[in-house]
Amino acid sequence: MELVGISEIAALASTSRAAISNWVSRDPSFPEPVADLACGQIWNKQEIELWLRKNNHLREGNMDAKANLQVGQIYTHDYICKTFGGDAKGGSYLPQNKQTILCGCFTTTMNPEAPEVVLVGNGPKIIGKAEILAAQGGSIPVFLKMGTNQWKYQGMFELLSFSKNPADFEAKATLADRNDVAAILTFSESPANRKPFQPV
């Protein structure tokens, strides 16, 4: 049995964790959790997928493409847009759908330590996306730009921290030769990278 939590269900449905929490607490048809742990409730993934499909929340059109992503492979931006949706086509570093960050698209020229460290620029929309990801938590699929329309899939990376404290990013901003940094995101590689991406 494969298990999922709130964050994984939110990714399956391409929605926010808050939306999932509402379904859990307000929709009596939502599946019962198989366990209630200190870290939160967990469910049988198969039961969740059936419920999402029945209620038209499962993005089945993208499921096969997401499941076939391979770490180290190159994908075009169009492919990423079609697979994840959101505003990826606009060149966003954190494509989103409503209040859910769908994936990360980072450049090593702006972020030499990506995907583990991402320096957040000082534009309101740029900071806003980082704040959404910080509230969302969990793991996201990450791509690094390798060349014109060439994005290498790095795998799933879990958000560790988000900070606007200059002491946390000034030295890294200097090394990256950037004077526009207003915050920092740090990530850790997910164990899920050992296998093809499964939408969780």
The pLDDT value recorded for residue 130 is: 96
- For residue 177, is it left (φ>0), alpha (ψ between -120 and 50) or beta? left
The pLDDT value recorded for residue 197 is: 46
**pLDDT one digit per residue (tens) for the chain, 200 residues:** 789 999 888 878 777 788 888 889 988 999 999 999 888 899 998 898 888 877 777 655 445 556 678 899 998 877 887 777 765 545 689 988 778 888 999 999 999 999 999 999 999 999 999 999 999 888 889 999 998 889 999 998 999 999 999 999 999 999 999 999 999 999 999 876 654 444 44
Alpha-helix runs per DSSP H in 36-99: 45-54, 60-67, 77-84
The pLDDT value recorded for residue 196 is: 47
Give me the phi and psi of 183, to 5 degrees please: -165, 175
CA–CA separation, 129 and 143 (whole Å):
16
Sign of CA dihedral 101, 198, 45, 64: positive
DSSP summary character for residue 29:
T
The pLDDT value recorded for residue 97 is: 78
The pLDDT value recorded for residue 193 is: 65
CA–CA separation, 12 and 15 (whole Å):
8
The pLDDT value recorded for residue 112 is: 96
CB 103 within 8 A of CB 143: yes
In sequence order, the 6+-apart residues with CB closer than 8 A to the CB of 39 are 5
